[in-house]
Amino acid sequence: MATATDFAPYVRRWALVPDGDPIVTHSSRLLPVLHAGAPAMLKVATEAEERWGAGLMIWWGGRGAARVLAHDDRAILLERATGRHSLVHMAKNGADDEASRIICKVVGALHEARAMPPLDLIPLEQRFQALEAAPAGEIFARSAVAARALLANPRDVVTLHGDIHHANILDFGERGWLAIDPKRLKGERGFDYANLFCNPDHTVATARGRLARQVEVVARAAQLERGRLLHWILAWAGLSATWLIEDGEEEHVAPTLEVANIAVAEIDKS
């Protein structure tokens, strides 16, 4: 549980006013605050990966991502999302296509070339090593084969967000839709679109016909090759299921593998 002492040094240093209850995640502590009278979010990392993600937020400079107002080696102060719209709600309530197009627009902004890429990015192939040790089974094998083929011949290599889904792109009002909570990855840009097919929840992700429709929407909006996107979805779903098994989250494994199976069915149709 987060306490006032977790945030006190930053509240004093950056002249912040607490503006809500603390939020605790597996990798950080967050506190809604006011900064010079404007809504902001103070985020204190408790894991190294979260600090590296903060470095990407700084590097993006508010283009496609929330603007960083202040930072040090453990904490960042971000502009706070105050808009009333939610991509999760949209996807669950008849606006799935629109939500996907918004995601594609934000990801495209994140992938735009910058003058100097950030340092210490993790190659995407390193992220997929866990899939090589996945449990036996046809769907894991198909996922691993897809991953190897994609990683062996990458296209359009960029700095990746690494964890794009409906809850990591928020409504910032006049600033529009912006991303939060990146990982520090480098690889083919198509990877950043794969996770949205496992989201916003299992019911939506595995609904009849949903994946096939959203592949068309995303491929068109992001200018991606449909077949290659399907292979990224297959590879990602297998990797995600592997991590879920490692973390003991067995209840989420079957729906995630169902997304992989749906992707395989679409690939085999082609």
Residues annotated as part of the active site? 163
Residue-by-residue DSSP string for 49-107: HHHHHHHHHHHHTTSSBPPEEEE-SSEEEEEPP--S--HHHHHHTT-HHHHHHHHHHHH
Rounded to whole angstroms, the Cα distance separating 200 from 90 reads: 10
Burial 171-194 (b: 16+ CB within 10 A, else e): bbeeeebbbbbbbbbbbbbbbbbb
Name the packing angle between helices 226-246 and 138-152 (round to 10°): 120
